[in-house]
């Protein structure tokens, strides 16, 4: 890895405190394996997890919360190895958005020992879709950061996409 960036930033994070903390986990075979899977249309699952991890770390540091646990949970929150579209085609009764946090938690616990806060963040990052309520402030933050990252991953690679989407919504509203 020569250059590692998060979506929405030009900064190479390899010369950062974040990278020093997360290098071993970022370079692990399990996390690197996420590069094989498309996520949120225009990115990989690895890039999405990196984005969530980095922004979650920065925000938690700012608010003097457990930034280290936030970075770990952010990187592992979508640690599952299957194509989401194919999975929902094969098992339409199982809602991926409700199912994947538990799969990610199981996979994360295979590669490292997690504390209670990290477990809560990984297993409940889809709240309120999953009804289990977060126990920690960091879990509420990862929920928001995950949604924010999904949005920037969807919009930033193709800025015109957001404008087209808004025009589409306005046209639908006018027909009603």
| Residue-wise pLDDT tens digits, 7-23 | 888 889 998 999 999 99
> Do the domain assignments include residue 160?
yes
- Output the CA angle 83-130-138, nearest 5 degrees: 95
Listed in order, strand segments (DSSP E) in the chain are: 38-39, 43-44
Is 32 part of a structural domain of the chain? yes
The predicted pLDDT at position 77 comes to 94
Q: Please indicate, yes or no, if residue 167 is contained in any of the structural domains.
A: yes
pLDDT tens string 124-139: 988 877 678 899 999 9
Residue range of the domain that includes 115: 13-175
Whole-number pLDDT of residue 126 = 86
Distance between start and end Cα atoms, the chain: 51
Residue stretches of the chain with pLDDT short of 70: 1, 40-41, 83-98, 130, 156-166, 168-169, 172-176
Number of domains forming the structure of the chain: 1
Residue 147 lies in a domain: yes
Q: What is the CATH number of the domain that holds 145?
A: 1.10.3210.10
Tokens of 66: 């457990």
CB burial class (10 A; 0-12, 13-18, 19+) of residue 27?
exposed
The phi, psi pair for 38, rounded to 5°, reads -70, 145
Q: Is 143 inside any structural domain?
A: yes
Query: Is 118 within a domain?
Result: yes
**Is 1 a domain residue?**
no
What pLDDT is recorded for position 37?
Answer: 83
What pLDDT score does 163 carry? 64
Alpha carbons 124 and 105: distance in angstroms, whole number? 10
Is 3 within the bounds of a domain? no
Q: Is 38 helix (H, G, I), strand (E, B) or coil?
A: strand
């Amino acid at each position: 890895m020569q250059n590692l960036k998060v979506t929405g930033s030009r900064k190479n994070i390899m010369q950062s405190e974040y990278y020093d903390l997360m290098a071993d986990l970022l370079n692990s075979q399990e996390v690197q394996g996420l590069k094989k899977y498309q996520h949120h249309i225009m990115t990989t699952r690895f890039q999405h997890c990196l984005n969530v991890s980095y922004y979650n770390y920065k925000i938690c540091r700012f608010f003097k919360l457990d930034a280290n646990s936030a970075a770990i949970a952010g990187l592992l929150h979508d640690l599952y190895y299957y194509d989401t579209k194919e999975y929902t085609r094969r098992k339409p009764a199982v809602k991926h958005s409700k199912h994947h946090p538990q799969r990610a938690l199981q996979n994360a616990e295979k590669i490292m020992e997690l504390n209670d806060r990290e477990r809560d963040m990984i297993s409940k990052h889809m709240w309120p879709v999953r009804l289990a309520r977060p126990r920690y402030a960091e879990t509420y933050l990862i929920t928001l950061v995950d949604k924010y990252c999904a949005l920037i991953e969807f919009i930033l690679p193709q800025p015109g996409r957001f404008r087209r989407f808004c025009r589409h919504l306005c046209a639908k509203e006018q027909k009603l």
